[in-house]
Structures are given as structure tokens and as C-alpha cells.
């Protein structure tokens, strides 16, 4: 059975341990916090082995069996703990090491160890961006086979694209706007059609082109 070691017994670690265990990994969690270890044990039961000890200690990780691990995930909210654990893992020859990085300014330190980096700041920023886009778009779908994205987006009263022509957006962002939904129904616009507030544009194009147009419409470009 493949062996995985997770640093920290926080909620993220518990969920990752559950996923790995369900995919035939022998999972060990290492944390020095007694309460977190007890919680992880109660939640995971037989799905993971819980070790209480300092993850920055080579002796502790050796006792856990780091020399047999195929993957180590350093998921602590403390970057120093993650760094030291990753360093030991690389020195021990663990093939795949992933580090959670909470302070983006420390990313380069982890990359120097040649480990995979998960930036908490980037994840939060991306999530907020997705939430903002979803607030203004009714639907954003991407067809994997063609790479085309489809979206219907309402033009707000303060949008800077009001007064522009459909052709302006089509040529600038290299997208298609085959339909516009207005209070009077659905129309097929030509390039001279003027954008007005409260109308909805049906936009088709490559994902990055569509997202750039959405940002322009909602004022984030």
C-alpha cells in the first residue's frame, strides 16, 4: 500500500487524509498539538494513523516512516513547520512533496527545495475572483472539446461598455455575441447595435477572452 504523510492535524489535513485513505493510501498525520491530534483521531478513526510529535524533527518523521513515504503534504498554517518538514522529506528522498505556503513572500524558499507549492493567498484571491464573476454572470460554461466558453451577462447601469457598439466588443476581445436579451425578447445584433444598461449579452469565445470581457463589463479590467 502506498504511504502518505501529512503535516498538521487541522481540518484541511483531515479532509485530505480522508481522500487519500479512500484511494488506498496508508496515511499518517503528524502534529504536536494534543487537541488537534485527538480531534483527527476521533474523526478519521482507522483511516489514518495519528502521531503526536514535532514535524520539524527528523527523528519524529523517521519514526513515522518517512523513508517509505511516496508523498508528504505539509499543510500546517505555520510556514516554518512546513518548510522544515519539506526539507527533511526531500533529504529523505520522498518522491512527491507538497507544501502549503501561507505567506506568499516565502514561496521562493519552498521552490528552492523543489517542492510543489500551494499558495493560500492565490487560492483566496482566485476564489474571491470567481465569486465576483459569478455575481454578475448568470452562467459560465466551458466546452472541453472545443475550448469555447459560453456566458450570459447582464449590463449594469454603471458599466463602462454602455454606449459602445457590439462590434467594438467583438473586435477588441475576439469573441462572438450572437444574441442579446432585452425586455422585448431575444434579438440577433449586428456590429452596429449599441450596448444599453440592463440588456443581457450572450457571449461565446475562448475562456480567457470571455473572462477579460466580463472584467471590462463589471469594471475590473
Query: In this prediction, what percent of the chain has a pLDDT beyond 90?
Result: 61
pLDDT of residue 125: 58
- CB atoms near residue 59 (< 10 Å): 10
Instruction: List 49's β-bridge partners, or say none.
Output: 28
Residue 86: closest CA among 117, 53, 64, 40: 117
Q: Which residues contact 71 (CB under 8 A, 6 or more apart)?
A: 2, 3, 4, 5, 25, 94, 95, 96, 97, 98
Cβ burial, residue 123 (10 Å; 0-12/13-18/19+): exposed
Comparison of pLDDT for 152 and 138, the residue scoring more: 152
Strand ranges, E, within 10-85? 25-31, 49-52, 71-74
Average pLDDT, integer, range 9-30? 93
Average pLDDT, integer, range 163-176? 94
- CB atoms near residue 41 (< 10 Å): 16
Instruction: With a cut of 70, say whether residue 134 has pLDDT above it.
Output: no
User: pLDDT band at residue 157, thresholds of 50, 70 and 90?
Assistant: confident
pLDDT of residue 65: 96
78 Cα distance to chain centroid: 20
Tally of CA atoms within 13 A in the half-sphere of 140 that contains its CB: 18
pLDDT of residue 143: 66
CB 49 within 8 A of CB 37: no
pLDDT of residue 185: 85
User: pLDDT band at residue 91, thresholds of 50, 70 and 90?
Assistant: very high
For the chain, list the domains and their CATH numbers: 2-121 (3.40.50.720), 133-218 (3.30.70.1450)
Lookup: cell for 9: 492535524
User: Mean pLDDT in the chain?
Assistant: 88
Residue 57: closest CA among 98, 18, 79, 87: 87
Average pLDDT, integer, range 149-176? 91
Amino acid at each position: 500500500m502506498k504511504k502518505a504523510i501529512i503535516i498538521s492535524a487541522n481540518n484541511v489535513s483531515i479532509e485530505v487524509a480522508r481522500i487519500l485513505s479512500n484511494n488506498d493510501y496508508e496515511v499518517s498525520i503528524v502534529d504536536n498539538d494534543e487537541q488537534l491530534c485527538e480531534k483527527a483521531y476521533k474523526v478519521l478513526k482507522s483511516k489514518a494513523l495519528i502521531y503526536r510529535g514535532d514535524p520539524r524533527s527528523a527523528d519524529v518523521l523517521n519514526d513515522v516512516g518517512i523513508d517509505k513515504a511516496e508523498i508528504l503534504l505539509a499543510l500546517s498554517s505555520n510556514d516554518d513547520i512546513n518548510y522544515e518538514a519539506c526539507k527533511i522529506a526531500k533529504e529523505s528522498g520522498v518522491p512527491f512533496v507538497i507544501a502549503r505556503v501561507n505567506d506568499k513572500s516565502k514561496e521562493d524558499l519552498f521552490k528552492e527545495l523543489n517542492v510543489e507549492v500551494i499558495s493560500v493567498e492565490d487560492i483566496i484571491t482566485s476564489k474571491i475572483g470567481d465569486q465576483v464573476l459569478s455575481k454578475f454572470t448568470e452562467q459560465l460554461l466551458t466546452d472541453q472539446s472545443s475550448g469555447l466558453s459560453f456566458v450570459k451577462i447582464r449590463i449594469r447601469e454603471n458599466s463602462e461598455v454602455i454606449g459602445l457598439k457590439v462590434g467594438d466588443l467583438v473586435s477588441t476581445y475576439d469573441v462572438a455575441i450572437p444574441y442579446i436579451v432585452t425586455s422585448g425578447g431575444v434579438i440577433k445584433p449586428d456590429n452596429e447595435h449599441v450596448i444599453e444598461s440592463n440588456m443581457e449579452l450572450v457571449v461565446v469565445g475562448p475562456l480567457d477572452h470571455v473572462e477579460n470581457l466580463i472584467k471590462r463589463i463589471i469594471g475590473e479590467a
